[in-house]
Amino acid sequence: MEQGILILIIGVVSSSFGVWLGYLVRKAVGQRKRGTIEEALRRKAEQGRKEREKILERAKQEATKIITEGEKARKRGEEKIAQEEELFLRRTSNLNEKESLLTKKEQQIEDQTEQLKLAKDQLGEIKDRILQKLEEVSGLSEKEARNALLERVEQNSKQDLLARIRKLETEGKEQYQERAKEIMATAIQKYALPQVEELTTSTISLPDEEVKGRIIGKNGRNIRAFEKAAGVEILVDEAPGSVTISAFNPIRRRIAQLALEKLIEDGRIQPARIERVLIKAKEEIKEQIEKAGQAAVYKVGIVDIHPKLIELLGRLHFRTSYGQNVLLHSIETAFLAEGLAQEIGADRKVAKKAGLLHDIGKAIDRQIEGSHVEIGIKLLERFKVEPAVITAMKSHHEDYPYESVEAVLVQIADAISSSRPGARRESLGEFLKRLESLEEIAKSIKGVRDCYAIEAGREIRILVRPEEVNDLEMRQIARQVAKEVQEGLTYPGEIKVNVIRETRAVEYAR
């Protein structure tokens, strides 16, 4: 038992010693760590102190640099201000000097003005004395002497001035005529329309005379049925080997011609078949009209035309004026007007479109009252054609005054296309006879000195004796000639009667 107690005491003592020993060990370790930490803190504090000293040094250096630069900028500013003040002072001094000079000059000008005024007054007195002496010597007043001098100068210079004016007018007229001829020749050369074209005709050749009997039919049944359905008149006795179709409307005449040619070719001519063939012919002619209008628009190069106007253009393909195909004439007028406009700098598109549409009224002028110009204007207004085009086309027969350059060009192009050689079928003998008749009508009137038919018979120019005919009688002569021409002659288009009364004074220097 004592041994167990001893062992217990030994265990307790050992345990206490171990605890105490562990405490001592831990204490020693803690002291060592604390010393290490304190050393680290001391080193860190020393390092922070050094860094603060470096930052402070750099801040001092930057502050010194800024202060130095600011001092330099201040000095520069002061120098600049000093320079500007010096410049201002110099300018102020210059202005003062200039002001002083101006004051002196003003004073000099005032002195000179006063001197000139005195000299002027003296000259006026001298002039008055001289004029008084001249009036006493000549026996004329100043006004009378001036009028006499002017009259003498006018008498000596009047003839020279008139000759000079006439020379300038002649030279200018010749230059303008040459330029006009050049422009028209260029426009014509740019476009040449082929004239070998099929013209509308009303004569049909027959293979033999027996066909006439089939056309007439039993008791005239076939020919009456054809004339009634087609709206034409058939003449079978006009010439051997042919029949003639007579109708006021060219399209009806063309439909009848086409239908009759098909009936003759087929050989079966009877009332029921006549109606069917005429219906088919109308459809074919309608297609031809549409194609002709579209071809004309495509050829001229205009795309903004209403389809109804294109159809009316196609109808002109079957319309002729003195043998000239109206559609071909319209195409030619369009190209000529465009060429003229290009030469003088006018609106080419307006001139070309107006030239193409200038005779559009002829497509329906046989169905509506009024001239083809008035009908054409209404048609173009109805289909919203540009006002500039309407203005350009409505003056081509001078029914309306010219309101634009393009209007004049369209009238010129229309005249060129109508009056050029080969345009209209009129024999040379008939043409010359018409010109002679025009001149005879004019020469038969009292007071007419001479007359000339010009512009291919489209104008007659009458020269009257100025001592026998006054201005009022001149107008009466123009109306009288126009009336006699309308009543006694047949002519294409219209004829302009131009009466001229001229007084001339001629002298010769020898």
CATH code, domain with 197 = 3.30.1370.10
Reading the block at residue 10, the tokens are 């030994």
List helix spans (H) across 345-493: 348-357, 372-382, 387-393, 405-419, 428-443, 471-488
CB-based contacts of 292: which residues, under 8 Å, 6+ apart?
A: 313, 314, 317, 327
The CA distance from 66 to 98, in Å, is 47
Task: Give the Å distances, CA to CA, from 45 to 40, 41, 58, 318.
Answer: 8, 6, 20, 121
Residues 173 and 220 in one domain: no
Residues 408 and 476 in one domain: no
Nearest C-alpha neighbor of 390 from the set 359, 415, 354, 364: 354
Nearest C-alpha neighbor of 297 from the set 266, 252, 327: 327
Q: Which amino acid is at 312?
A: L
Are 458 and 468 contacting, i.e. CB atoms less than 8 angstroms apart? no
The range of the structural domain enclosing residue 368 comes to 321-425
Assign residue 473 the CATH number of its domain: 3.30.70.1350
Tokens 């040094």 correspond to 57
Domain edge (last residue) among 46, 77, 99: 99
Output DSSP code: residue 198: P
CB-based contacts of 366: which residues, under 8 Å, 6+ apart?
A: 248, 249
User: What's the order of all strands across the beta sheet hosting 242-246?
Assistant: 203-205, 242-246, 233-239
Confidence at residue 120, expressed as pLDDT on a 0 to 100 scale: 85
Tokens 């289909």 correspond to 383
b/e map 414-434, b = 16+ CB within 10 Å: bbbbbeeeebbebeeeeeeeb
Confidence at residue 200, expressed as pLDDT on a 0 to 100 scale: 39
Task: Give the Å distances, CA to CA, from 381 to 87, 176, 296, 377.
Answer: 78, 36, 21, 6
| Within a domain: 33 | yes
| Within a domain: 407 | yes
| Within a domain: 109 | no
Residues 345 and 281 in one domain: no
| Within a domain: 509 | no
CB-based contacts of 501: which residues, under 8 Å, 6+ apart?
A: 464, 466, 469, 470, 471, 474
Residues 199 and 289 in one domain: yes
Domain edge (last residue) among 384, 407, 425: 425
Residues 400 and 388 in one domain: yes
Confidence at residue 209, expressed as pLDDT on a 0 to 100 scale: 72
Confidence at residue 199, expressed as pLDDT on a 0 to 100 scale: 43
Residues 294 and 213 in one domain: yes
CB atoms within 10 A of CB 55: 10
Residues 173 and 213 in one domain: no
| Within a domain: 104 | no
The CA distance from 268 to 262, in Å, is 9
Domain edge (last residue) among 410, 425, 440: 425
Domain count, the chain: 5
| Within a domain: 68 | yes
Nearest C-alpha neighbor of 318 from the set 372, 266, 254: 254
| Within a domain: 114 | no
Task: Give the Å distances, CA to CA, from 377 to 278, 314, 397, 400.
Answer: 33, 18, 13, 11
Residues 271 and 329 in one domain: no
Reading the block at residue 247, the tokens are 């109708």
Tokens 């504090």 correspond to 45
**Angle between helix 271-300 and helix 348-357 axes, rounded to 10 deg:** 160
Are 442 and 457 contacting, i.e. CB atoms less than 8 angstroms apart? no
Q: Consecutive sets of 10 residues in the chain, 510 residues long: mean pLDDT of each? A: 63 65 70 76 83 86 88 87 88 87 88 87 82 71 72 66 65 62 56 45 71 78 81 76 77 83 81 85 86 86 85 84 79 86 85 87 74 85 88 83 86 78 52 77 86 76 87 86 82 78 75
Residues 197 and 284 in one domain: yes
Residues 463 and 444 in one domain: yes
Are 433 and 412 contacting, i.e. CB atoms less than 8 angstroms apart? no
| Within a domain: 311 | no
Residues 241 and 272 in one domain: yes
Q: Is 408 helix (H, G, I), strand (E, B) or coil?
A: helix
Confidence at residue 171, expressed as pLDDT on a 0 to 100 scale: 64
Residues written for the chain = 510
Confidence at residue 150, expressed as pLDDT on a 0 to 100 scale: 72
DSSP assignment of 51-119: HHHHHHHHHHHHHHHHHHHHHHHHHHHHHHHHHHHHHHHHHHHHHHHHHHHHHHHHHHHHHHHHHHHHH
Residues 376 and 280 in one domain: no
